[in-house]
Amino acid sequence: MKSTNRVEEPSLQDALEQRADYIPFDDIQSETSPEGESFRNAIQELTNKSLRTLVGPRGSGKTHLMRFAWATCRDDASQPFSIYVSFNRYFRLEPLRTSRPNPAELFHSWVLALICLGTYEAATSWKPAIAAIETIFDSYGLKKATLQSLVSRLERGQPLPPSEAEVSGKLSVNDVKELIDAVRSETRRKFAVLLLDDAALTLTPDYLVEFLDIVRALKSSHIAPKASVYPGTTEYSPRFHAGQDALPVPVWHPVDSDNYDQVMGAIAEKRVANLKDMPADVVELFMYAAFGIPRAFLSMIWDYQRRNFRTSQQGVNAIVQEYLSLRLAEYRSLAKKVPKFATIIRAGELLLNQMTVSVKDANALSSEKGEKQISIGILKEDVTPLVKRMLDLLVEAGLIYEQGEIKHGSPERIYSRFVPHTAALLGVKAFSQGRSGTSPKQIVEVIRRKSAKHPIRARLPLLAPEEVAQLKVDLPECAKCGTARLTEEQKFCHSCGSQLVSSSTFSECCTIAITEVPGLTKWQKERISEALPKFKTIGDYLAKQDPSAELLTIYGIGKKRSAKIIDVLDGFVDEFLS
């Protein structure tokens, strides 16, 4: 019998490879399993001439789809010219909102500069590479090095030198459109698609409004922008109408679809070595516990392969519980990222718990019919704007999946249907049949059963009118006198007249202790705390000019371990602020 032994330091390479950002463009196609109608539909939408938003929670494959679409366009002459740009560092411009008089203009320049750089990278990586790219850039007074420096300085909050300030002031949407069209003409492609990744910008709604206006303005007969966004916290511009200006393309593969196991299984076969050495029922249970999120599925498999367990059941229970804890922690972090939704987010977790218990109770009855129940029906008339936002935030975090509406009864009533996360259902043993039905094989057998025809229609306690009345949008108090704000847009306190300062998500991130960062081992946290007493918070880390040099002063931490710690800390900051 093997004793349980958690490996102290998981393989960083495996962790990085779960993210499509780290797969080179030249490898993306061989690392992809183009299975399922939803995948093919998403690629088709990403390569057509229409403005689209790619909608899905974290880890659902938005980045992978965009990078795959880019590689497909490059290698197929019948496809459009494709430009891929990531805006995942937008949060680094958040401090400009309070430190500069013209943050919107600087953000505008940052976005356009990144699109120009993305165009340059696409041109030089194309097959064949576009030889005239330097000449085209020169004709618009642009240099790659200048644009890179401009972007870097804005992300670090540094002032722009006169030459870069001049470029920043001159960058316009019309010039960028002409630039893209000039490069596209060199490729002899009929139109260009602009793949704008990490475009949700959920932490800075004012930047998001500006960004979506840019996206809308970039659309032309020869340019089709595509933006990846989250459901839930993406607040659209007054001039950008989702569903009219841009059709949403959902990319989250539903866990109850007929070909779910085929699609997810194909992904694992492409990405996981020695998959056949794992028990088939364990792989299958992880597949369902991942709830349609490929990154989660791969993470659980690799975690199982790295660790030793006495039994497969012990391993499954531990890994699924740890994964669920991480998902809930990420969901709770939304309250720090978007403080105005703190009350709604806390209520959302309670609602999720009530959903899982309701499903468990229903399955105790459904088992006699050879069915399973996973769907919760919420009466449409109970979905107030705040309840809708609460449900959307749970969807963004990947904790519930929206199935659409169904009509039932006489008089006819409309229900919105939601499926709670499989890992949360496993946590309450919603698929276990007594004490003898808890093995991975037995649980998978229940999950594979036909779903009940109708959702659970009993009203959840938290959706009772008296509970819904307690939901509210949280407005930060006046820092001077403590008086609550009257409106979200209020600039000055109506009681004492003091200027009201918006809470900075970047500042919130900086206060988080290094010891609270997931991914660092207990030993690493202890050594850092003991040896570097002034290295306590994320803010301390970001303030260091060379944090690696500081870490190397700790006994037992060399270059390799120092690099891993920095990767974990950088990854945490990026995830927290994305």
CATH code for the domain defined by 37-250 = 3.40.50
Class at the top of the CATH hierarchy for domain 511-576: mainly alpha
52 strand-pairing partners: 226, 247
pLDDT at 19: 56
pLDDT at 236: 58
Q: Are 291 and 422 in contact (CB under 8 A)?
A: yes
- Which residues of the chain fall short of a pLDDT of 50? 1-17
Q: For residues 288 and 291, what is the distance between their CA atoms, to the nearest angstrom?
A: 5
What three-state secondary structure class fits 90?
helix
Q: For residues 118 and 172, what is the distance between their CA atoms, to the nearest angstrom?
A: 16
Residue type, 468: V
Q: Where are the alpha helices (DSSP H) in 219-293?
A: 260-271, 280-289
> CA triplet 232, 237, 242: central angle to 5 degrees?
60
Distances (CA, A) of 321 to 79, 324, 426: 44, 5, 9
pLDDT at 10: 37
CATH 1.10.150 domain extents, the chain: 511-576
Q: What is the DSSP string of 208-235?
A: HHHHHHHHHHH--SSEEEEEEE-TTT--
Length of the chain, in residues: 578
Q: What does pTM read for this prediction?
A: 0.74
Q: Which residues lie closer than 8 Å to 231 by C-beta, 6 or more apart? A: 55, 56, 57, 392, 395, 396
pLDDT at 141: 94
CATH 3.40.50 domain extents, the chain: 37-250
pLDDT at 447: 92
CB count in 10 Å sphere of residue 435? 6
> Containing H/E element for 523?
helix 522-531
Q: Are 291 and 285 in contact (CB under 8 A)?
A: no
Longest Cα–Cα distance in the chain: 76
* Structure confidence by residue, pLDDT tens digits, 90-148: 878 888 877 788 888 999 999 999 999 999 999 999 989 999 999 999 999 999 999 99
pLDDT at 314: 92
Q: Where are the alpha helices (DSSP H) in 290-402?
A: 294-306, 312-337, 342-366, 385-396
pLDDT at 169: 93
Q: For residues 443 and 432, what is the distance between their CA atoms, to the nearest angstrom?
A: 6
* Structure confidence by residue, pLDDT tens digits, 219-242: 999 999 999 988 755 555 556 655
pLDDT at 16: 37
Of 458, 289, 256, 453, give the one whose Cα is nearest residue 371: 453
Task: Specify burial of residue 282 (Cβ count, 10 A radius: 0-12, 13-18, 19+).
Answer: buried
